[in-house]
Every structure is written in C-alpha cells, then in structure tokens.
Amino acid sequence: MKTLRVGVIGTGGIGRAHAERLTKYIANADVVAVNDINETAAKATAEACGARYEADPIALIHAEDVDAVLIASWDRTHEQFVCETIEAGKFVFCEKPLSNTADGCRHVIEVEQKAGKRLLTVGFMRRYDKGYQQMREVIASGRLGEVLMVHAQHRNAAPTGEKHTTVMSVSGALVHEFDITRFLLDDEYVSAQMILPRSTRNADEDLIDPQMVMLRTKKGIHIDLEIYMNCRYGYDIQCEVVGEEGTVRLPELANIAPMRVDGTRQHKIYTEWYKRFEDAYVYELRDWVDSALEGKAAGASAWDGYVTSAVAEKCTEARLSDSVVKFDLGERPAMYRTTEV
Ligand code: NAI
C-alpha cells in the first residue's frame, strides 16, 4: 500500500487533532514532520505521532521525506505556506480561511494556475458531514421544488484559538456557512447585508456578538445567517432550506443518544465544535490522502476559499456602510469548475 508522508505546520487545537487523526484513523498516511512557533506544542505532537520536530516551516515544506503538507497555523500565515507548498509541487491541505483577504486568495489562485493543476484543499469539512450531504441530495432531487430561502445559525459556547473580533467572527467562523450553503444550493452570492442585534455582555470588547448576515444568490434565494460566538450553552449548528414544496433540515444531534430520565425526555447537546464534526474531519482527511495518492486534490478548492473570504469582506463593507452591498465575484477559472464533494 502506498503511504502519503505528511508534514504538519501548526499544532494548536485543530492541528494536533488532525495530526492524531492522520496517525490513528488513516492507514495510508504517516505524519513525518511537525512545526509550530510554539516548540513545546510541536514537540508534543511530534512525539504523539512518531514524527520529527522541524524548527523551520519552509524547510519542512521542501523536505524530501514530506510528500504533502497540512497547514493549521493562524489564519494570517496560511497564504504564505500554501503558496510555498504549491510552488514546491506538493499537495497541501489548508485549514479555513484560505486567507484573511480576497486578494490573498486571488494570489493563491494565480500560483495554482501557474502550477497547472489543483494541489490545494481548503478545510471546509462540513461538505463531508452526512447530514449536509443528505440535504444536498434532497435539494438536487427537486423534491422541495425550487429553493426559496435558507435559515442557518452558528453558535459557539465561547471563542477558541486566537482572540476573536467582530471581523473574525465572519471571516473565520461564518465562512463555514458561506461555503456549505453554496455547496448545498449550487448557486453563487450576489449581495450581502448585515444586521446587528442587541449585543451580549459576555463578548470581549472587540467583538460585536451576535451578528446577522443576509445574502442573496444569483437565483434570488434569500439566506439569513446568525453568528453568535458567546452563546454559552453549547455548540449549536442549525440549517433549514425552504423550498416551494417542502423543507429539509440539518439533523442537529448526530451521534447523541436521547434519554428518558427523571420524568423528562432529554439529550445532551454538543459543547465543543470538534466533537460535532468529528466524523466529517476524518472523512475529509481520508479523502485528501486517498486523492493525493491518486495525484488529485479533493474537497473545497482555492476558488471556494476565495469566494468565502471575498463574501466575508463584503459583509464587513455592508456592516460599516450599513447598506446592501452588491458584488460580482468574477469568472471561475476552468480548473475549478467541477465539484465532486
Ligand atoms: P490555535 O491557536 O489553537 O493553534 C494555532 C497554532 O499555530 C498555534 O500553536 C500557533 O503557535 C501556531 N502558529 C501560529 N503561527 C505560526 C507560524 N507562523 N508557524 C508555525 N506555527 C504557527 O488555533 P486553532 O483553533 O487550532 O486554529 C488553527 C487554524 O485552524 C485557524 O486558521 C482556524 O481558523 C482553523 N480552524 C478550523 C476549524 C474547522 O472547523 N475547520 C476549527 C478550528 C480552527
């Protein structure tokens, strides 16, 4: 069996978890080298995965024993590491967002165009979630008639990772909704608006929380998205698609057993984001590894990364101008016209 030898850059919350998933659950992947500016974190992950610690991320990317690179460092570092890996001719998995800016994503697209083939996968794992996949099948079957509206909520108990700001809630978290909604609808966005409800006292000073985003697509579908980073009670992801003849809703409690106890019917809810989508993370990494071994890039592309970051920017523009911002995302290059997942 062929094995993909992976180098990992960034071993915080999700980087370490991805390295361990590759090691424990994905038979044809080996984590061979690990880097983080936090040497202690990198060495702990290296030890857990039987890999070596590499002090220099650029040396890791170019190392002869590294076939492909997984990037899970902070958002602002992604573009540089992704471009370096593509220029080295290696497959690269990069956590979302691809870049903090639409320009940064366009730069990645240019570099990949020059490479002449898709090498990049962006970590939009919800495409691998069975619930969303069922919703996509229902919508594509036409049983709902034409889709009219989408209502979705993204709530975290509290922010994790880097300190959250108003912009980051949208560019770092709500990008998941931007990606999965267009994946479900097979449609593209044309305008954005933001509405700010009353703010919670539980948010840091630089974060307006919650926020509401309204998007419209080319087909005229209305999408309303709530992002609430300090909801306190749990990690809660909801999505309902409303059509002319019916609706379809995301199964919200995948893998949680309902109880009847103390005269009540009850069930736990997720409190940590990584538990809610654990299966999807494993499936996306498995697809990335299998595809790379076949010489292909799986999952969300640089174009998908660009669209989501560009829409995030338009949302900020809409918030600051308190208006509906109309936009045209431009022509999708031929390399990105097929979507398998
Ligand atoms: P974190 O803060 O826990 O970990 C990030 C790690 O990257 C830290 O250990 C930090 O020292 C390291 N790092 C930062 N700059 C570096 C550099 N220049 N070189 C090497 N290492 C560097 O953050 P977390 O939550 O693990 O997030 C990492 C990335 O994954 C972020 O881009 C985030 O948006 C994304 N993410 C994606 C999720 C998903 O559901 N797909 C969920 C959580 C995070």
- Checking 33-37 for CB contacts under 8 A at 24+ apart, the result is 33/7, 33/8, 33/60, 33/63, 33/65, 33/66, 34/7, 34/8, 34/60, 35/7, 35/8, 35/9, 35/10, 35/11, 35/60, 36/9, 36/10, 36/11, 36/12, 36/73, 37/73
User: Going by CA atoms, what residue is nearest to atom 20 of ligand 1?
Assistant: 36
Q: Is the dihedral of CA 266, 136, 283, 68 positive or negative?
A: negative
Contact 5, 30 (CB under 8 A): yes
Whole-number Å distance between alpha carbons of 80 and 317? 25
Please tell me the residue having the least CA distance from ligand 1 atom 35: 95
- Give the model's pLDDT for residue 158: 94
* CB-ligand 1 contact for 160 (6 Å cutoff): yes
Q: What is the pTM of this model?
A: 0.95
Binned at pLDDT 50, 70 and 90, residue 72 comes out as: very high
How high is the mean pLDDT of the chain? 95
Please tell me the distance from the alpha carbon of residue 234 to that of residue 154, in angstroms, as a whole number. Answer: 11
Distance (Å, rounded) from C-alpha 307 to C-alpha 309? 6
Q: Kindly report the CA angle at 255 between 252 and 259, in degrees rounded to 5?
A: 90
pLDDT bucket at 22, cuts 50 / 70 / 90: very high
Mean pLDDT value of segment 323-329: 97
Return d(Cα 273, Cα 85) in angstroms, integer.
28
Ligand 1 touching residue 41 (CB < 6 A): yes
Distance 12 CA to ligand 1 centre (A): 6
Q: Whose CA is nearest to atom 41 of ligand 1?
A: 123
Which DSSP symbol is given to 255?
T
**In this predicted structure, what is the pLDDT of residue 339?**
59
Which segment of 120-129, 131-140, 142-151, 156-165 scores lowest on mean pLDDT?
156-165
Other C-beta atoms within 10 Å of 222: how many?
A: 14
Mean pLDDT over 189-202 rounds to: 97
Choice between 274 and 286, residue whose per-residue pLDDT is larger: 286
Q: How far is CA 239 from the centre of its chain?
A: 16
**pLDDT given for residue 338 in this prediction:** 73
pLDDT for position 255: 78
Best probe residue, ligand 1, of 9, 11, 14 (max atoms within 8 Å of C-beta): 14
The pLDDT tens digits for 46-56 are 999 999 999 99
pLDDT tens-digit map of 166-185:
999 999 999 999 999 999 99
pLDDT of residue 340: 53
Residue 274 confidence (pLDDT): 87
User: In ligand 1, which atom is closest to the CA atom of 124?
Assistant: 41
Cite the DSSP H helix spans in the chain.
Answer: 13-25, 39-49, 57-62, 78-87, 102-115, 130-141, 166-168, 175-185, 273-276, 278-293, 302-321
Q: What is the pLDDT of residue 134?
A: 97
Q: Is the confidence at residue 310, as pLDDT, over 60?
A: yes
Ligand 1 pocket test: which of 53, 74, 272 has the largest number of ligand atoms within 8 Å of its C-beta? 74
Sign of CA dihedral 201, 214, 107, 12: positive
Ligand 1 in reach of 10 Cβ (< 6 A): yes
Evaluate if residue 73 carries a pLDDT over 80: yes
Pairwise pLDDT comparison (141 vs 253), residue with the higher score: 141
For 261, half-sphere exposure in the C-beta direction (CA atoms, 13 angstrom radius) is: 6
CA angle in degrees (0–180, nearest 5) for 219-301-187: 5
Confidence of residue 337 (pLDDT cuts 50, 70, 90): confident
Least confident of 12-26, 42-56, 134-148, 159-173: 159-173
Q: Is 57 in the pocket of ligand 1 (CB under 6 A)?
A: yes
Cα(165)–Cα(161) distance, rounded to whole angstroms? 12
> Is residue 252 pLDDT above 80, yes or no?
no
pLDDT of residue 212: 98
Comparing C-alpha atoms, which of 102, 83, 118, 104 is closest to residue 330?
102
